[in-house]
Amino acid sequence: MFKFISKNLYHRTITLFFVSIVSFLVIYLAPGKPTQVDPLNPKFTPELVERMRKEFNLDKPIYIQYLVFYKDLFSGKLRSWKDNQSVMKKIKDRFLNSLPLFILGTLITWTISFPIGIYSAIKRGGFVDKTVSFLSYFFISIPGFFFAYILIVFVVKVFEVPVIGMNTFGLEETNAFTRFMDRVWHLVIPSFLGATGGIAILSRYVRSQMLEVLQNEYIRTAWAKGLAPDEVYYRHALRNALLPFITMFGMIIPGLVGGSVIIESIFSWPGLGRLAYEAIMARDYPVVLTLNFISACLVLLGTFLSDILYLFADPRIRL
Amino acid sequence: MLVKRLLILVPLVLILFLAQSYLWIPTYEEQTKGNPSRLTQYITGSIGDAAILNPILSSDSASAEIENLVFEGLLDRDKDLNLRPRVAESWEIEEKIYVLLNPNSKKKPEDILYILEKAKKARDSSFGSIKEIRLLPPESVNCPPVSTRDGRRPNNCVINYPNRIMISLPKVEPDLSREIKELLGEEYYKDFDLDGIVSVDQELRSEILQRLKEEFLSTIEENPVITFYLRKGVYFHDGHPLTAEDVKFTYEAIMDPKNLSPRAADFEPVKTVEVIDPHTVRITYKRLYSPAIGTWGIGILPKHLLDRKALEEEAKRKGKESISIRESNFNRRPIGSGPFKFVEWKADQYIKLRRFENYWEGPPNYQEYVFRVIPDPLTQEMEFYSGTIDSYSVLPHQVVRLKNDPNFQNFSGLSFGYTYVGYNLQREPFNDIRVRKALAMAIDVEKIINYVVYGQGERITGPFPIQTPYYNHKVKPVPYDPKRAIELLQEAGYERQPDGFFKKGDKKLAFTLITNSGNDIRKAILAIVQDSWRTIGVDVRTDLVEWSVFVQERVGKRDFDALILGWMMGVEPDLYQIWHSSQTGPFQLNFVGFKNPLADELILKIRKEYNEAKRVEYCHKLHEVIAEQQPYIFLYCPKWTALLDSRIVIMETSEDGKIEYRKITPSKTGNYMYDFNKWIKLREKILLLDKG
């Protein structure tokens, strides 16, 4: 067990090292300069551009730039090229904004997908199953931004309440409870939007898993034993159908830094997705690279966790 | 079955909990109408957040919008774009001319002095305005900070001046130096070695000498002097009075290489900034440079919060050795002397300002100014209709629909920019003016304006902003005439082939037209221009290039045939960087390679002329020259339209306390925000007569 974990960690560290090199190279080879340097602005004289390059270490050889970057990253000294703010602080602030959206989105996805998936598997081919299938494909194919606009216009016109931003603008002076509920309300639509795609996919997945499991011989044995249908479905079938979802659970962790650029932009949500997008547009390499590095870490961590979880969940895997 | 129950109950509870939160939310109605403090708030929406709130460091428009309210410069522009006193109450412009005397000449310094005095008495042309003539002894002066193009600085650089004659003038006389030269005669400087008076590190010598000559070094140095008299009773938001020291500090902060100020180029011509007394500051320039005065519109920084002592204290608090202005917290919590003071900045959410009660012109009517970041235009529009933001910039296709909506008041004007098609004049076939004219005639610009920007643009013919006096309205646009275009191409030696395309010898008339991706308007123009040119028989290919590749690889390295691009201009008519022949090198802005001796002369004359009427005259001439040469096809200047809540009006309180309301009227240049400090929102819409 210990050997397995340490070997696993060792491999991941090596992977991380290569990821750091590749992502640095990709950024380095991409054309463009930080937006603090605008070559088409007459105010930027060649001298100034040159001084900025020096300031950002862009005049050094690439391996020095690589070392300086990761040294600054680990010592926490890294600063954004766009506004000279500490990169870690920027990411932390945005992370805390994105976190509730992520948690609620995941919660909605997972709590709703399972009942839907299980039900359509049990009533396979029935009216509900067909409707759910149709809706799933509908939500998978509808463009997110379009659906978001429709929802916003609908809510604003019908209910006449604000939906964008993290809270209602100008509501700072009311009591803490109302402010909390206000925050919750502002979470509802974006996280629901973020969840629709997830629900559509995950419920299909749950359905097919259940169907597969239901064909197994031990299920037939369970029926033959004369167990109640609920007993068969929820004790014998569901447990076995759940196994693959452990892997999926590990895979949602990287989503923490992903965020959704489209949803965050439409809802004026100051989250990580927008930070990353704006950093890319502004060639703010310290922010882009740091986010890149963190998400690489999270992917490795996620897969590591699902490996470990599998060990505990599936008695057939033993080391 | 517990699992089954949980599977049904958990999502139900979750959904119910989320749904009930709706009950706690105030509706738009309650927010905008039921809230009296909303009337004293001005809320505006912006696509992007500000980057850095420091006028000497920022270069984005969102930051500038906030800085204009928090900071104030010595002067700004009034409704007609003339300079208007702000922190400075008034100013004077004088000139000092230094005539270097040739020590090898037979003429003694006294002889020269006598010649000049005589000319002064005789009041020969510009000599008449001379106030004083004085002989200066030889003197060694350290060079001003100077560096080579790649940023290297000499260790030691001294100018050993021989005897000089200083001439003081009460106003700038740009012709006087030429007249003095004529008076002294060509012979006088013949055996004078100007380079010899500079001693500098040998390895950098030639480059530094060249820079010094570009900047000021000459046998006759002309130094304009501006004296600003500051208003008394101007305070920073922390109660500290604004004095001449702050002005000097702002200049020093801009020029400090550590700060990497994007405004440094504007202030490079400054020679010295002297504090005469707390309310007088004198600025001497190295050379004649008339756009200089406009640069003092830059917000004045508080010295006591950003000087070395203050920064050291801040560094100590943060536990660091030293910090520069760039890293200071000031840029996130600015303190200036403008009509609004900074309250709060939530990154990518909003910036809040409150009115400054001690503002020298009296506090604004609004209590609060809020700058909300709403990156999506549709969301912004929804928020505007709901009343949670007060203004909305209308997109071109919405203008017709929204302009006559009685719920809003609308303003429109021309922007300070234009869109153009530029050629690489170094390349075939664009080095032939007939080809350039033919290509221009093949394009129906009116059609582009009507269909691409829905009529929201105005045809232009030259490089100056159309609402400034520098624009020459007499220049006629190139007519749309494809027949004449074909004739012109034939005159230029091209022959039409059976396939319809033109050929000269065995070379087909073919090239590539490029623009940057991500700009739909330019993309549409690209297609129209390509089609127009193909119709007359030019084989044009097009390409969309990602912005940074476009700028770095194609424009910067001159690797293009023709391109579509736009410029944003300032009020000052200084076209040196875009049109002067010295600016055609790689990564310089005259990337089309426009070289015209007459244009060069005019560009330099405009820079040196302090007399407005003459400047306008030169600009009109320059406009003519550039329009004649057709290095660009000047297409159009975009129009903007803004909507404003119709309950917002101008409120003025007269001296006897009577309150009067007035409709907001835009200035001649279309700026409706000009009277912003007097704006207020009323509870109900009232009918006001348009007195403008």
Torsion of CA A281, A285, A288, A293, to 10 degrees: 160
d(CA B249, CA B247): 5
pLDDT of the residue at B691: 46
CB B576 within 8 A of CB B605: no
Q: DSSP letter at B463? A: S
Q: What are phi and psi of A116, to 5 degrees?
A: -65, -50
B16 touches chain A (CB under 8 A): no
State whether A40 and B555 contact (CB < 8 Å).
yes
B64 touches chain A (CB under 8 A): no
For tokens 């057709």, the residue is: B630
pLDDT of the residue at A283: 80
A155 CB burial (10 A radius; 0-12, 13-18, 19+): middle
Q: At residue B690, does pLDDT exceed 60?
A: no
Picking from B360, A114, A140, A138, the residue whose alpha carbon sits closest to that of residue A130 is A138
pLDDT per residue as tens digits for the range B215-272: 888 889 999 999 999 999 999 999 999 999 999 999 999 998 888 888 888 898 999 9
Report cis status (omega within 30 of 0) of the bond before B26: no
Picking from B159, B157, B158, the residue whose alpha carbon sits closest to that of residue B204 is B157
CB B330 within 8 A of CB B306: yes
Of B33-47, B74-88, B481-495, the least confident: B33-47
Residue B50's closest chain A neighbor by CA?
A83
d(CA B315, CA B327): 10
b/e map A50-78, b = 16+ CB within 10 Å: bbbbebbebeeeeeebbeebbebbeeeeb
pLDDT of the residue at A29: 79
pLDDT of the residue at B28: 76
Chain centroid to Cα A279, Å, comes to: 18
pLDDT of the residue at A305: 85
DSSP H stretches of helix in B24-93: 28-32, 61-70
Looking at the complex, report in whole angstroms how far the Cα of residue A176 sits from the nearest Cα belonging to chain B.
12
Chain centroid to Cα A120, Å, comes to: 27
The 10 Å Cβ neighbour count of residue A213 is 20
Chain B residue numbers with beta carbons less than 8 Å from the beta carbon of A240 are none
A158 CB burial (10 A radius; 0-12, 13-18, 19+): exposed
Looking at the complex, report in whole angstroms how far the Cα of residue A298 sits from the nearest Cα belonging to chain B.
25
CB B464 within 8 A of CB B470: yes
Q: What are phi and psi of A40, to 5 degrees?
A: -100, 10
For A44, which of B43, B262, B348 is closest by C-beta distance? Answer: B262
Residue B254's closest chain A neighbor by CA?
A48
CB B307 within 8 A of CB B625: no
Between positions 117 and 176 of B, the ones with CB within 8 A of A are: 147, 149-151
pLDDT of the residue at A168: 80
Q: Helix A285-313 and helix A2-29: axis angle, to 10°?
A: 160
For B150, which of A50, A164, A182 is closest by C-beta distance? Answer: A50
d(CA B253, CA B260): 9
pLDDT per residue as tens digits for the range B276-318: 999 999 999 999 999 889 899 999 999 999 999 999 999 898 8
Chain centroid to Cα A89, Å, comes to: 20
Count how many pairs of residues, chain A against chain B, have C-beta atoms within 8 Å. Answer: 186
d(CA B646, CA B408): 5
Cα–Cα distance list, B199 to A192, B138, B140, B203, B339 (Å): 73, 15, 10, 12, 49
State whether B382 and A44 contact (CB < 8 Å).
no
Strand partners, B372: B45, B350
Residue B8's closest chain A neighbor by CA?
A115
pLDDT of the residue at B34: 65
Between positions 370 and 399 of B, the ones with CB within 8 A of A are: 370, 372-376, 378-379, 382-383, 386, 388
pLDDT of the residue at B423: 93
Q: At residue B527, does pLDDT exceed 90?
A: yes
pLDDT per residue as tens digits for the range B598-649: 999 999 999 989 888 999 999 999 999 999 999 999 999 999 888 888 888 8
Strand partners, B166: B98, B134
Mean of pLDDT over chain B: 88
pLDDT of the residue at B351: 94
Could you tell me which residues come within 8 angstroms of residue A174 by beta carbon, excluding any fewer than 6 positions away? A182
Q: Helix A285-313 and helix A238-252: axis angle, to 10°?
A: 160
CB A300 within 8 A of CB A16: yes
pLDDT of the residue at B692: 41
The 10 Å Cβ neighbour count of residue B70 is 24
A164 touches chain B (CB under 8 A): yes
Q: What's the per-residue H, E or C state across chain A? A: CHHHHHHHHHHHHHHHHHHHHHHHHHHHHCCCCCCCCCCCCCCCCHHHHHHHHHHCCCCCCHHHHHHHHHHHHHHCCCECCCCCCEHHHHHHHHHHHHHHHHHHHHHHHHHHHHHHHHHHHHCCCCHHHHHHHHHHHHHHHCCHHHHHHHHHHHHHHHHCCCCCCCCCCCCCCCCHHHHHHHHHHHHHHHHHHHHHHHHHHHHHHHHHHHHHHHCCHHHHHHHHCCCCHHHHHHHHHHHHHHHHHHHHHHHHCCHHHHCCHHHHHHCCCCCHHHHHHHHHHCCCHHHHHHHHHHHHHHHHHHHHHHHHHHHHHCCCCCC
pLDDT of the residue at B436: 92
CB B142 within 8 A of CB B160: no
Q: DSSP letter at B552? A: I
Picking from B631, B618, B601, the residue whose alpha carbon sits closest to that of residue B461 is B631
CB B116 within 8 A of CB B165: yes
Residue B327's closest chain A neighbor by CA?
A84
Looking at the complex, report in whole angstroms how far the Cα of residue B373 sits from the nearest Cα belonging to chain A.
7
State whether B25 and A181 contact (CB < 8 Å).
yes
State whether B51 and A82 contact (CB < 8 Å).
yes
Sign of CA dihedral A57, A63, A66, A72: negative
For tokens 């000052």, the residue is: B572
Between positions 407 and 446 of B, the ones with CB within 8 A of A are: none
For B348, which of A54, A182, A270 is closest by C-beta distance? Answer: A270
State whether B3 and A235 contact (CB < 8 Å).
yes
Provide the residue type at A53 as one letter.
Answer: R
For B577, which of A42, A47, A181 is closest by C-beta distance? Answer: A42
State whether B549 and A32 contact (CB < 8 Å).
yes
pLDDT per residue as tens digits for the range B534-574: 999 899 999 998 887 888 788 888 889 999 999 988 888 88
Q: At residue B335, does pLDDT exceed 90?
A: yes
Q: DSSP letter at B261? A: -
Residue that wins the pLDDT comparison between B8 and B123: B8
Q: What is the CA radius of gyration of chain A?
A: 25
Picking from B376, B378, B354, the residue whose alpha carbon sits closest to that of residue B365 is B354
- Using 50, 70 and 90 to split pLDDT, how confident is the model at B437? very high
DSSP H stretches of helix in B258-307: 264-267, 303-306
Residue B549's closest chain A neighbor by CA?
A31
pLDDT of the residue at B320: 81
Query: Which of B12, B17, B23, B24 is best to mutate for the A interface (most A CBs within 10 A)?
Result: B24
Mean pLDDT by 10 residues, chain A (319 residues): 84 91 84 64 72 78 87 84 84 89 90 92 90 91 88 86 81 80 90 88 91 90 90 87 80 74 86 87 85 88 84 71
State whether B375 and A268 contact (CB < 8 Å).
yes
Between positions 256 and 315 of B, the ones with CB within 8 A of A are: 257, 260, 262-266
d(CA B17, CA B660): 51
pLDDT per residue as tens digits for the range B129-173: 888 898 899 989 888 888 777 667 888 889 999 889 999 999 898
B6 touches chain A (CB under 8 A): no
B185 touches chain A (CB under 8 A): no
Written as six digits, the tokens of B270 are 């400054």
Q: 3-class SS at B294?
A: helix
pLDDT of the residue at A4: 81
Q: At residue B440, does pLDDT exceed 90?
A: yes
pLDDT of the residue at B596: 92
For B24, which of A41, A169, A182 is closest by C-beta distance? Answer: A182
For B4, which of A230, A274, A275 is closest by C-beta distance? Answer: A230
Residue B329's closest chain A neighbor by CA?
A85
For B548, which of A31, A152, A234 is closest by C-beta distance? Answer: A31
> Could you tell me if the ipTM is greater than 0.90?
no
Picking from B98, B136, B499, B143, the residue whose alpha carbon sits closest to that of residue B287 is B98
d(CA B328, CA B352): 20
pLDDT of the residue at B197: 87
